[in-house]
Every structure is written in C-alpha cells, then in structure tokens.
Amino acid sequence: MSAESQSIESLSSLIEGEAQSLRAVRHEALRLVTDQGWPSNREESFRFTKLKEFTKQHFGQNLDEHAASSNVVDDPWLHITESHIHYVNGQQIKNGVDVQGVKVDDWRAIRQHGMLPEQSAFAQSNVFRALNTALLQAGPVIDVAANTKLVAPILLHYVQDHDGKISRHPKVTLKIGAGAQVHFIERYESRNQDSAWTNSVVDIELQPGAQLTHTLVVEEGQQQFHFRDTQIDVQKDANYKFLVFNLSGKQFRQQCDISLSGTHAHTEIHALMLGQSSEQIENQLCIRHVAESCTSRQWVRGIFDDQSHGVFTGRVVVGKGAQKTDAGQSNKNLLLSDNARVNAMPQLEIYADDVKCQHGATTGSLDLDSLFYLMARGIPRHQARQMLIRAFAHEIADQIEQPFVRNHIERAIDARFAGQEPK
C-alpha cells in the first residue's frame, strides 16, 4: 500500500466492515495520513531516511483470508519458555501464556467490542502511528498484575511467510504493574524473500517499582521494510532495560521515545545493528528525563558492510524539573567496506543545572594493529578478522540472559560476516 498512490477512499474500503465508532476513529487517522503524506528528508528526524524506494511499493493489506501456514510446533524459539504468543501473517495462532498474574488479550477481539487504543494516533501527529491505528488488525494486550515476578520470559513471535506484497500493522500493548518483574522477548522473522512491510507500534507502561527487560530481535528478508514506533513510560523507581538486535532486513527504522516520569527511574538501551548489501538500519532514540534523580544509559554498536547505511540519533532531553539527572551515551560503529556509511547524531538538550550528562560517537574500520597481532600468532587473516568483529559485537550480545537467545545472536553475527574480506 502506498499512501501517495492510493486515495483515502481506497484505503477506507479496508475498514468498512468495522463498527461505526471504530470507523470514525480510523477515518480520522487516515485523514492525517492523507493530509501529511509520507515524511520527507526536509524533516530533521527523517534527514537520512531513504523512503524513495519504499513509497514506490504497492502493498496489499494482510487480510484474514491470508491463512497462517507456518509450523509452530517445531520452532525452537518456542522451547525457551511456555509463555509464548505466536502470530503468523498477522494472525494470532497460539497464546501459551497461562501464568497467574498475567492477562493477555488481543486487539482483534477488543475491536469487536468497539474499542481502539486509548491514545489517538492522529492527536500525536505521527504518520506511521496514525496508519497503524487506521489499519490495525491484531496484536497482544498484556497486563501484568502488581508484584508478579515471572521466572520465565514471555515470548512474542511474529512470523511472515505469505507470498506476495503485503503489509501488517501490529500493535503491542504492555502494562507492568507496580513491583512486578518481567522479561519480554519480541521477535520478527521472515521465512521468504518477498517484499513486505511491517508497521508496528509498541506502547509500554512501567508502574512504580516495576522491572522490565525487553529484548527485540529483527530477522527479516532482503526485500522487507519495517517501521516501528515505540513509546515507554517509566514511573517512580521503575527499571526498563531494552536490548535491540537488528540482524537483517532491507530497511528498519525505529522511533523510540522513553519518558522517565517518576523519581529514581532508570533506563538503559543496548543496541546492535548489522548491515550488509544495501540495507538501511536506523534507530532514533529519545530519552526524556522528566522527574529528578533519574538515570539513563545508551550503548549502541553498529557493523556495516557492502553499501549498507546506519543511522543513529541518540537524544537526551533533561527537563527543568529533572535535577540530579545522570545520563550517558556511547555509540561506536565499525565499517567493513569503503562504501558503507554511518550517520551518528548524539544530542543533549539540558534545561536543568544540577545534572551529569555525557555522550560520544566514533566510527572507524578494523584495527590493523590488532589484526596483525593475531596473524603473527598463527591465526589466519579471515579468522582473525572474524574474532575482532565478534568481540566488537559481543559487548552488546553478552547482555542477553537466556543462553538460547544469546547463542542465536552470536551465530547470526558469525554467519553474516564469516570469511568476508574488506571490499
């Protein structure tokens, strides 16, 4: 679906079966999309985003008749926890979460009661979020009761294997009650190479004292686009840890906005971007220090080969009332090809005077001294090169607690760059 080539009338036909109350909300969101159109490079946050090829595509909506076809029984990811939610081609085909204190609904069922997300997309003036509201079909709504402490993680697994150019617009809503402790793993996987588009929205609320470790793994095809809007509210004494692994996909763009709204809230982001061919990976991260005595950290690493392109914007906003803020940010990028490139933009906006903030960004190639050191000890050049790449990436991968997931990420790193020589 291309908003530049399809009118609001043709888009509207996709939602005519909804209840009257839902159609009104969806049509209002569509009007925003139509009025604004796709963002352009004249907008600062989209300055380096390549949208030309994306807007030329014509994606169909992932309608109900697109049957789920992937076999979930033999999927090894489902063996890491019994609490898993599995979607294939936009449809929920398994909800294995049966834990006291955890309630899981689905937006497909909630829509049948004439409800949509509480925060209207059009009020936020975000085209991709508005489009998600307009075309939302399904996605989990997870509510974890106060003081619930989960031993095993909750796994949300999205699989795309439908033939043809389709789009899906999932929404994930996660509410972590006061004092609860949760590990949430979110994985997007493609099992074919057809062109497709995922337009995901994730909203998370951490109530006072809650702790959430959130792992995102993206492994999509070489002709697949993924645009993602993530918003997190971290309240008093809550702790949010976000691990991001961009392993494959033609174009990935995440806009992540984290608000530290209560005193002594903490967040940390560990992100790893792997780029090859002509892939573009973009993480737009914004941490807003709203309350005083909050802490935040960002560690972002990128490895880019061939003609791939990485974009990192790390924005930290310290509000007037956010005294005693402690914020740190580190971005390091490794270029394995003369044609690969990175645009890194660390940003600090400080409106308080009693703060401690620091940031830094570096981009370079493999260290030749280290490479020659290993080769001098009898290690072949391609193995030495692989060891240095692995060491660079594992600074982020080592943050993963689950052995299966960590081993999967490590194998993906090795597979992507094994045996390749600089170009």
Q: Which of 113-117, 148-152, 328-332, 411-415 has the weakest average pLDDT? A: 113-117
Q: Contact, 157 vs 75, CB < 8 A?
A: yes
Name residues whose C-beta falls within 8 Å of residue 113's C-beta, 6 or more positions apart in sequence. none
pLDDT at 112: 54
In angstroms, rounded to a whole number, what is the distance separating the alpha carbons of residues 60 and 83?
32
State the average pLDDT over residues 143-158.
94
State the average pLDDT over residues 295-323.
95
* Residues β-bridged to residue 300: 271, 331
- Structure token pair of residue 339: 């044609």
CA distances, 63 to each of 15, 67, 135, 166, 423 (Å)? 11, 9, 10, 9, 43
State the average pLDDT over residues 168-175.
92
pLDDT at 6: 43
CA angle 100–117–266, rounded 5-degree value:
65
Residue scoring higher pLDDT (112 or 295): 295
- Structure token pair of residue 391: 């060491």
CA distances, 287 to each of 55, 217, 227, 228, 233 (Å)? 29, 21, 19, 16, 10
State the average pLDDT over residues 41-68.
75
pLDDT in tens, 241-260: 999 999 999 999 999 999 99
Q: What count of other Cβ atoms lies within 10 Å of the Cβ of residue 125?
A: 10
The number of residues making up the chain comes to 423
Side-chain half-sphere exposure of 92, counting CA atoms within 13 A: 21
CA distances, 295 to each of 6, 171, 291, 359 (Å)? 45, 28, 10, 14
Residue 4 has pLDDT above 80, yes or no: no
Mean pLDDT, rounded, of the chain: 85
3 state DSSP class of 6: coil
| End-to-end C-alpha distance for the chain, whole angstroms | 36
* Residues β-bridged to residue 106: 140
Considering 41-50, 126-135, 301-310, the range whose residues carry the highest mean pLDDT is 301-310
Query: Where along the chain do its domains lie?
Result: 8-366, 367-423
pLDDT in tens, 273-290: 999 999 999 999 999 999
Q: Contact, 82 vs 76, CB < 8 A?
A: no
Residue 305 has pLDDT above 60, yes or no: yes
In angstroms, rounded to a whole number, what is the distance separating the alpha carbons of residues 12 and 330?
44
Place of tokens 């940031």: 359
pLDDT level of residue 196 (50, 70, 90 thresholds): confident
% of the chain beyond a pLDDT of 70:
86
pLDDT at 125: 55
pLDDT at 423: 41
pLDDT at 19: 58
State the average pLDDT over residues 311-316.
94
pLDDT in tens, 225-239: 999 999 999 999 999
pLDDT at 63: 52
CA 177 to chain centre: 22
pLDDT in tens, 345-393: 999 999 999 999 998 899 999 989 999 999 999 999 988 988 999 899 9
pTM (2 d.p.):
0.91
